[in-house]
């Protein structure tokens, strides 16, 4: 008898767990992209897109529903959207979060707090700053095959493997909370029929203070991390050449004491030249040397310009401060920040062009 | 008669004993529990990125404590109750043993509520503690009433299940910045030692040897396994700490409540987007022996002191765990209980050398009297 009771109890434990309230994917509004603009009276205008699954007969087409609300804070946006949606909202799959440039310049601190606090958000999601209205960018569907979120997510992800430095939510938070470094985000721009990555926005304490156009992004990535992709073109003699990076390595070295620090940034690049436009010569060792020299000069000039800009704006997206902190015992943040604008940073570039393609 | 178990004063039938190698699993699974999910924050608050030295120091201290425990048990024979009786007499000794019982109870209870909190924050915000607690305590009661050998089996399973989770450390390292771990010691010795104290708190668990020692067959041979276990635990903690150093920046880590679970968030497989849900579910198996062995130790002491049947004690303790479950809620309360049980554990660790000294003195006095 006792065993029977126990048996029934155990069986019901297993079976009754199926009686939990559940929601099927079709009935949940899954937000994958959200954009925030400045609204009227210090409020936030949030726009989200909700993909509609299983509604239309045509499987290839992606339909989306766009909702725009005015709210007081980020979490309030979620609340307001719930008021407009017929099905329960789920934010767990949020893949891209966009902010208008106006808003980024005013400061994103309140938003960053939500991003780091909410356990439901993925650390692999992307943040980006939009030139113009973030809501506009979300609302204009670009292709029939993809939703806007897939489009933008794919755009940032592919480019992170090429010219743009990696920038997920985790990377942003790492630099935002860390000492002696400042975060950056990709900059998006809406064109007539497509979205493009137009540069990088630099932040100081959650406020966007500066940006660089996409032509300088390669140099920034080269200074920031090791990578083996990306392309850079350069006018050379009467034409132009295109370089294909096959392995770039960067190394920081700190010299001197904390009172008088100096930095050395060593970059070594291996590259192929795949386009020689308007050049009427066959490749030879001497030409290679000339090309290498042209690139080295170009990168040095660009890098020094970037560093000069960082010093003027007192931002440290390269994380030199955090590097100094791990190398010197007597690191002092306020002292470091005082020294930073006059810091002596020497950029050395070493370049090797190995191949010229399959056609001479 | 029983030559295998040479501890005097307490004879456990051979069918209840476990082989010496299992001590590895008993010690290690008790040391790794909910603490490892969020210990990084407390260490970094004290000693910054130099806290890895503290872990090594704490590991060294624990080896010494372990040596003392073995010295105490080998000379004294039996368990902590027996030693207390020999050193302090029936009444004071009994009282001190009951303090140990209270400490073991507290430890098991802390693990229980902390794990329920983790589930609430990370997976099911609306989870009813009293329903989940009921089911979990039912399982714990079932395991504990199965006896010491069953608990040893649970410990073995927990160590084996914990192993693949260690492999996942690869993902945060991949996403992190290895440049930041560079051995520059910028904190002074007091800061590093205070972080060591903090890490001793998450290493607690080997003092359970004091109560299950008579259950080990051929206990002398188990010594090396216990030392292996402490070494292994130290390495697990060291690796976890270094991985979070790579993954987070220093100031960021100070604000992350559960460093290890947050680092699981970066793990992404094509078939599963949020690994932390799987990780937390698997962690139940790591936490389970903590509760079981804690409860077993807590009920074993009154059994030895008052000679009550352990079965009834287990039921009473389970009910005692269950009633406050619904009332304890919120980070501040649970954090306070964690800190309190950590402090208690620290004093227990401090108490062991004192007890050893007293034991040696009382042995000498007794010998002189016998002469």
| Reported confidence tier of residue B2, pLDDT bands at 50, 70, 90 | very low
Percent of chain B with pLDDT over 70: 96
Note the pLDDT tens digit of each residue in B323-338.
Answer: 988 888 888 999 899 8
Kindly tell me if the per-residue pLDDT of B10 is higher than 70. no
Between chains, do B249 and A92 touch, taking CB under 8 Å as contact? no
Per-residue pLDDT of B72-83, as tens digits, reads 888 766 788 888
Residues in chain B: 371
pLDDT attached to residue A61: 57
**Domain spans in chain A, listed from the N-terminal domain onward:** 24-214, 226-360
**The pLDDT of residue B140:** 93
Angle between helices B90-122 and B80-88 (to 10 degrees): 140
- Select the residue from A325, A329, A332 to test the B interface by mutation, using most B Cβ atoms within 10 A: A325
Q: Residue B9 above 60 pLDDT?
A: no
Rounded average pLDDT over B289-301: 92
B3 band by pLDDT with thresholds 50, 70 and 90: very low
Contact B184 A326 (CB under 8 A): yes
Asked whether the beta carbons of residue B49 and residue A326 sit closer than 8 angstroms, the reply is: yes
Question: Could you tell me the two tokens for B348?
Answer: 């227990």
Task: Convert the pLDDT of each residue in A108-161 to its tens digit.
Answer: 888 888 888 888 888 888 999 999 888 888 887 666 677 888 888 888 988 888
Q: Nearest to residue A223, comparing CAs of A316, A287, A126, A86?
A: A316
* A177 CB-near residues (< 8 Å, 6+ apart): A116, B249, B251, B252, B255
Query: Which of B126, B251, B274, B275 is the mutation pick for testing A, counting most A CBs within 10 A?
Result: B251
Residues of A in contact with B135 (CB under 8 A): 13
Give A-chain residues touching B274 at CB under 8 angstroms. Answer: 92, 122
Closest by Cα among B64, B101, B63, B105 to B80: B101
Question: Residue B4: which pLDDT band, with cuts at 50, 70 and 90?
Answer: very low
Average per-residue pLDDT in chain B?
A: 87
Q: Which of A124, A176, A330 sits opposite B266 (nearest CB)?
A: A124
The secondary structure of chain A, three-state, reads: CHHHHHHHHHHHHHHHHHHCCCCCHHHCEECCEEEEEECCCCCEEEEEEEEECCCCCCCCCCEEEEEEEEECCHHHHHHHHHHHCCCCEECCCCCEEEEEHHHHHHCCHHHHHHHHHCCCCCCCCEEEEEECCHHHHHHCCCCCCCCHHHHHHHHHHHHHCCCCCCCEHHHHHHHHHCCCCCCEEEEEEECCCCEEEEEEEEEECCEEEEEEEHHHHHHHHHHHCCECCCEEEEEECCEEEEEEEEEEEEEEEEECCCCCCEEEEEEEEEEEEEEEECCCCCCCHHHHHHHHHHHHHHHHHHHHHHHHHHHHHCCCCCCHHHHHHHHCCCCCHHHHHHHHHHCEEEEEEEEEEEECCCCC
Give me the pLDDT at residue A202, please: 93
B274/A contact by beta carbon, under 8 A? yes
The stretch B12-31 carries a mean pLDDT of 90
Tokens (6 digits) for B364: 């000498």
Q: What is the rounded CA–CA span in Å between residue B150 and residue B143?
A: 6
pLDDT at A205: 85
Any A CB within 8 A of B249 CB: yes
Which of B182, B185, B249 is closest, CB to CB, to A327? B182
B220 touches chain A (CB under 8 A): no
pLDDT at B131: 86
Under an 8 A CB cutoff, do B265 and A123 touch?
A: yes
Closest by CA position to A149, among listed A86, A84, A82, A195: A195
Task: Output the pLDDT for position B1.
Answer: 35
CA distance A216 to A219: 6
Q: Are B295 and B317 in contact (CB under 8 A)?
A: yes
Give the other-Cβ count within 10 Å of A314's Cβ: 12
Half-sphere exposure of A105 (CA within 13 A, CB side): 10
Mutation test of the interface with chain B: which of A124, A165, A170, A180, choosing the one with the most B Cβ atoms within 10 A? A170
Q: Given an 8 Å threshold on Cβ–Cβ distance, is B268 in contact with A92?
A: no
Interface test with B, best of A326, A331, A332 (most B CBs within 10 A): A326
Q: Determine contact: B185 vs chain A, CB below 8 A.
A: yes
Tokens of B52: 């890895």
Q: B186, A119: Cβ pair inside 8 Å?
A: no
What is the percent of chain B with per-residue pLDDT over 90, rounded to a whole number? Answer: 37
Superfamily for the A226-360 domain: Nutrient germinant receptor protein C, domain 3 (3.30.300.210)
CATH fold of B21-364, please?
Answer: Amino acid/polyamine transporter I (1.20.1740)
Evaluate whether B229 touches B152 at the Cβ level (below 8 Å).
Answer: no
B148: tokens are 């010491």
Angle at A6 between CA A5 and CA A10, to 5 degrees: 120
pLDDT in tens, B83-132: 898 888 889 999 999 999 999 999 999 999 999 999 998 988 888 888 88
Q: Do B186 and A330 touch (CB under 8 A)?
A: yes
- Calculate Rg over the CA atoms of chain A: 25
Nearest CA-CA partner of B22 in B150, B198, B194, B114: B150
The pLDDT of residue B6 is above 80: no
**Residue A303 pLDDT:** 92
CB B252 within 8 A of CB A173: yes
| Chain A neighbors of B185, CB-CB under 8 A | 329
Going by pLDDT thresholds of 50, 70 and 90, the confidence category of residue B8 is very low
**Per-residue pLDDT in tens (0 to 9) along chain A, 360 residues:** 778 888 888 888 778 777 777 777 777 888 888 999 988 888 889 898 888 776 555 555 567 888 888 888 888 888 888 888 888 888 888 889 999 999 999 888 888 888 888 888 888 889 999 998 888 888 876 666 778 888 888 889 888 888 888 888 999 999 999 888 899 999 998 888 888 899 999 999 889 999 999 888 989 998 988 888 888 888 887 788 888 888 889 988 888 888 888 889 999 998 888 887 777 777 777 888 888 888 899 999 999 999 999 999 899 999 888 888 888 888 888 888 888 888 889 999 998 888 777 766
Check CB contact under 8 Å for A175 and B177: no
Which of B121, B180, B250 faces A119 most closely, judged by CB atoms?
Answer: B121
Phi-psi region of A229 (alpha: psi -120 to 50; beta: other; left: phi over 0): beta
Task: Tell me whether B175 touches chain A (CB under 8 Å).
Answer: yes
**pLDDT at residue B371 is higher than 80:** no
Report the DSSP beta bridge partners of residue A47: A35, A68
- Confidence (pLDDT) at B28: 92
Side-chain-side CA neighbours of residue A155 (13 Å): 22
Q: How far apart are CA B185 and CA B162, in angstroms?
A: 32
Contacts A319 to B, Cβ<8 Å: 177
pLDDT of residue A192: 80
Here the tokens at position A359 are 């056609």
Burial of B56 (0-12, 13-18, 19+ CB in 10 A): middle
Helices marked H in chain B — which ranges? 22-31, 35-47, 51-76, 80-88, 90-122, 129-145, 148-167, 170-175, 189-202, 209-212, 222-247, 250-253, 259-264, 275-306, 310-325, 331-370
What are B169-225's pLDDT values in tens digits?
A: 888 888 888 877 777 777 888 888 988 888 887 888 888 998 999 899 888 889 999
**Could you tell me if residue B264 is left (phi over 0), alpha (psi between -120 and 50 degrees) or otherwise beta?**
alpha
What's the whole-number mean pLDDT along residues B251-255?
88
Specify the pLDDT at position B60.
93
| Pairing, β A344-355 against β A262-277 | parallel
SS3 letters for A256-283?
Answer: CCCCCCEEEEEEEEEEEEEEEECCCCCC
């Amino acid at each position: 008898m006792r065993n029977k009771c126990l048996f029934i109890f155990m069986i019901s434990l297993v079976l009754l767990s199926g009686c939990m309230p559940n929601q099927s994917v079709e009935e949940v509004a899954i937000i994958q992209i959200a954009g925030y603009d400045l609204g009227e009276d210090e409020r936030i205008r949030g726009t989200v897109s909700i993909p509609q699954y299983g509604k239309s007969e045509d499987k290839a087409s992606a339909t989306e529903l766009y909702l725009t609300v005015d709210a007081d804070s980020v979490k309030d946006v979620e609340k307001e959207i719930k008021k407009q949606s017929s099905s329960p909202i789920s934010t767990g799959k949020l893949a891209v979060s966009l902010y208008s440039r106006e808003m980024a310049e005013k400061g994103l601190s309140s938003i960053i707090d939500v991003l780091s606090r909410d356990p439901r958000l993925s650390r692999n999601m992307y943040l980006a700053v939009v030139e113009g209205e973030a809501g506009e960018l979300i609302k204009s569907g670009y292709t029939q095959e993809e939703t806007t979120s897939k489009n933008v997510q794919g755009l940032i992800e592919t480019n992170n493997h090429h010219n743009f430095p990696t920038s997920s939510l985790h990377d942003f938070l790492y630099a935002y909370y860390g000492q002696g470094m400042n975060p950056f985000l990709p900059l998006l721009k809406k064109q007539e029929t497509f979205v493009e990555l137009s540069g990088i926005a630099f932040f100081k304490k959650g406020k966007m203070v500066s940006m660089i156009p996409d032509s300088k992004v390669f140099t920034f990535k080269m200074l920031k991390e090791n990578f083996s992709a990306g392309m850079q073109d350069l006018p050379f003699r009467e034409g132009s050449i295109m370089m294909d990076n096959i392995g770039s390595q960067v190394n920081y070295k700190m010299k001197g004491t904390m009172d008088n620090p100096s930095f050395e940034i060593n970059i070594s690049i291996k590259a192929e030249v795949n386009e020689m436009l308007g050049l009427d010569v066959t490749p030879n060792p001497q030409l290679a040397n000339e090309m290498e020299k042209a690139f080295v000069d170009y990168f040095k000039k660009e890098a020094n310009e970037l560093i000069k800009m960082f010093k003027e704006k007192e931002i440290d997206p390269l994380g030199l401060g955090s590097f100094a902190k791990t190398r010197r015992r007597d690191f002092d943040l306020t002292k470091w920040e005082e020294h930073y604008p006059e810091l002596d940073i020497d950029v050395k570039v070493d370049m090797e062009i190995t191949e010229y393609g399959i056609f001479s | 008669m029983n030559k295998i178990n040479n501890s005097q004063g307490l004879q456990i039938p051979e069918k209840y004993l476990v082989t010496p190698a299992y001590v590895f699993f008993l010690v290690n699974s008790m040391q790794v529990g909910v603490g490892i999910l969020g210990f990084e924050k407390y260490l970094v608050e004290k000693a910054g990125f130099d806290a890895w030295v503290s872990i090594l120091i704490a590991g060294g201290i624990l080896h010494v404590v372990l040596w003392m425990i073995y010295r105490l048990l080998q000379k004294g024979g039996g368990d902590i109750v027996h030693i207390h009786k020999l050193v302090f007499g029936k009444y004071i000794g009994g009282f001190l043993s009951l303090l140990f019982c209270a400490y073991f109870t507290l430890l098991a209870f802390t693990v229980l509520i902390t794990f329920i909190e983790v589930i609430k924050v990370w997976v099911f915000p609306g989870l009813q503690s009293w329903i989940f607690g009921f089911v979990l305590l039912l399982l714990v009661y079932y395991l504990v009433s199965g006896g010491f050998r069953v608990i040893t089996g649970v410990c073995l399973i927990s160590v084996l299940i914990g192993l693949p989770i260690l492999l996942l450390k690869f993902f945060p390292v991949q996403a992190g910045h290895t440049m930041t771990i560079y051995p520059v010691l910028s904190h002074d010795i007091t800061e590093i030692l205070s972080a060591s104290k903090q890490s001793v708190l998450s290493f607690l668990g080997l003092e359970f040897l004091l109560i299950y020692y008579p259950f080990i067959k051929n206990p002398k041979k188990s010594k090396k396994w216990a030392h292996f276990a402490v070494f292994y635990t130290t390495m697990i903690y060291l690796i976890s700490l270094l991985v979070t150093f790579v993954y987070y920046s220093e100031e960021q880590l100070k604000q992350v409540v559960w460093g290890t679970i947050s680092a699981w968030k970066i793990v992404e497989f094509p078939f599963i987007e949020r690994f932390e849900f799987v990780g937390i579910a698997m962690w139940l198996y790591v936490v389970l022996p903590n509760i079981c062995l804690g409860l077993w130790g807590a009920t074993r002491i009154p059994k030895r002191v008052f000679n009550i049947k352990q079965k009834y004690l287990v039921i009473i303790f389970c009910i005692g765990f269950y009633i406050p479950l619904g009332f304890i809620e919120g980070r501040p309360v649970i954090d306070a209980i964690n800190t309190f049980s950590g402090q208690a554990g620290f004093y227990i660790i401090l108490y062991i050398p004192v007890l050893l000294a007293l034991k040696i003195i009382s042995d000498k006095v007794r010998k002189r009297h016998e002469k």
